[in-house]
């Protein structure tokens, strides 16, 4: 049987491991959120650049029947 001191050490160790795991998960989620925001901004900037490079494309439709 474990004595009280050993049980306390084991419980404390488990608590520290859990806190470290949660901290790593939070950092990973923050990185993923930042990357998704960057990708969305890149998409918007790419569309704006396409329009500015060739502004005449899609602006006028001339059809004769």
Mean pLDDT per block of 10 residues along the chain (65 residues) reads 85 96 97 92 80 70 78
Host domain of residue 45: 22-50
Q: Does 26 map to a domain?
A: yes
Q: Does 31 map to a domain?
A: yes
Domain count, the chain: 1
State pTM to two decimals: 0.56
Confidence (pLDDT) at 14: 96
Confidence (pLDDT) at 1: 59
Q: Does 57 map to a domain?
A: no
Q: Does 16 map to a domain?
A: no
Q: How many residues does the chain have?
A: 65
Confidence (pLDDT) at 2: 64
């Amino acid at each position: 049987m474990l004595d009280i001191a050993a049980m306390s050490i084991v419980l404390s160790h488990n608590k520290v491991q859990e806190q470290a795991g949660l901290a790593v998960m939070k950092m990973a989620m923050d990185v993923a959120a930042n990357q998704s925001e960057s990708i969305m901004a890149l998409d918007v900037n790419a569309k704006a650049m396409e329009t500015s490079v060739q502004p005449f494309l899609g602006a006028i439709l001339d059809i004769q029947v």
